[in-house]
Structure 1
Amino acid sequence: MKLVGISGALAGYKTYTVIHKVLQAAKSFDSDIEIELIDLKDYDVEFVKGTPLSYYNADTVKVVDTILAADCIVIGTPIYQASITGALKNLLDHLPVEALLNKVTGLIATGGTDKHYLVLDYHLKPILSFLKGVVPDNSVYVLNDHFDEENEIHDANINRRIKKLGEDIIQLQKLVNEKSKI
């Protein structure tokens, strides 16, 4: 089973840090899984223009193909102006409608205020549901204040939630896989 993490931030390292921690938690829970982290700042994903995927650059094709080949996914985004990043929305616009069919898709976000924690439930979750993703009930929202100068999170509750999300993604994906065999 392959779990792909997507960091939807084009600047900073907070979102990347949380995605990495979720991937490590999942790997600790099940050492047989393969993990990969896609950091959108490392790729030149072209703007969607309504043409077939093969018309886009190699980075765009690679990122989309990696998502399509994954068994399960964890997506992270900083919250800007009460929304996900434009880079993440653009990437999601490249995906076909059933791209996430039978794929557990965990959610994390980082932000400067606790007032934006519902962006995951009211903005990102509907997009992933439209793409047929299986979205766990729990997600992780991390305030910028929870990070220290080295980008470490020392809040025990946040670290517990990160670990639980990693475990839940793997457990749910195994259940989805079993159900799809029936």
Structure 2
Amino acid sequence: MRLVVVSAGLSVPSSTRLLGDRLAAATAERTDAEVQVVELRDLAVEIAHHLTNGFPGPRLSSALDAVTAADGLIVVTPVFSASYSGLFKSFFDVLDRDALAGKPVLVAATGGTARHSLVLEHALRPLFAYLRAIVVPTAVYAASEDWGAEGLAGRVERAAGELAGLMGGLRGDLRGGASESVSESVSESVSESASESESELTSASSSEPVLRGTGAALPDVVPFAQQLAALSPSRGA
């Protein structure tokens, strides 16, 4: 199996790269995956050229191929302006739109304060859901004060275990037979819904109205004018 880490860190050394390495090491312990790291800092110029002329350079092309062929993906970005970095987004903008379909992805981010931790749920998770990736339940955020803290190690281990489980259980299935099974399940659900709707319409058109889902007959409805006449004193009394 192949595990690819996409790191959008800009500094050297980079806490973003460090978090990506820790997640990759924890995942590799649970799988037989070979780890490859894609440093977006080194690809910035080629990414910009690809956005303007539509042609990837050799290093960018190799990185895109690695991400497309990976069995699992770890993506890590620093937080810029309460979201992922522009370099991070640009890389996935030039990636083929179907490259991540059905691929297990672990999302992670680094920042100077814990106040930006919701970037994982408000920015990263929606992005990869749009790309039809399978995002692991546990996302990992590391603020400056988290390094060396016990909580970060626990989150790393939990997220790595979830990614390893998806890589082992869904390898080769999501882009093959499983997608057909999902389609069949959807078709069956639609057919069942149509049958239920037809049954309800048939019940509604019968001579005796029936309460939906209960089988009990509706009570007789007496017009208001008839009820009022019954309450009024008889004429000539």
Does the alignment reach a TM-score above 0.5?
yes
Contact 1:102 1:177 survives alignment (8 Å): no
Q: Spell out the pairing of 1:61-100 with structure 2 (5 A cutoff).
A: 61-100=61-100
Measured after TM superposition, the shift of residue 50 of structure 1 is 6.4
Partner of 2:36: 36
Structure showing the higher helix proportion among its residues: 2
1:77-107 alpha-carbon deviations (Å, 9 max, x no partner): 1101101111100001011221111110101
Quote the Cα distance in structure 1 between the aligned partners of 2:47 and 2:114: 32
Superposition misfits of 4+ residues, deviation over 6 angstroms: none
The answer to which of 72-81 and 155-164 deviates more is 155-164
Partner of 1:20: 21
Q: Structure 1 residues 128 and 51, CA, compared in 2 at 3 Å: closer, same or farther?
A: farther
RMSD: 1.7
Alignment: residue pair count: 173
The one of the two structures with greater contact order (alpha-carbon pairs below 8 A, sep at least 6) is: 1
Q: Spell out the pairing of 1:1-182 with structure 2 (5 A cutoff).
A: 1-12=1-12, 13-30=14-31, 32-44=32-44, 45-47=46-48, 48-49=50-51, 52=54, 55-146=55-146, 153-177=147-171, 179-180=173-174, 181-182=177-178
Structure 2 residue matching 1:97: 3-state secondary structure: coil
Quote the Cα distance in structure 1 between the aligned partners of 2:149 and 2:127: 30
- Percent identity over the alignment is 25
Contact 2:4 2:38 survives alignment (8 Å): yes
Q: Which amino acid aligns with 2:94?
A: H
Quote the Cα distance in structure 1 between the aligned partners of 2:103 and 2:62: 19
Structure 2: gaps (5+ residues): 179-237
Larger Rg, first or second structure (1 or 2): 2
* TM-score normalised to structure 2 length: 0.68
Structure 2 residue matching 1:76: 3-state secondary structure: strand
Structure 1: gaps (5+ residues): 147-152
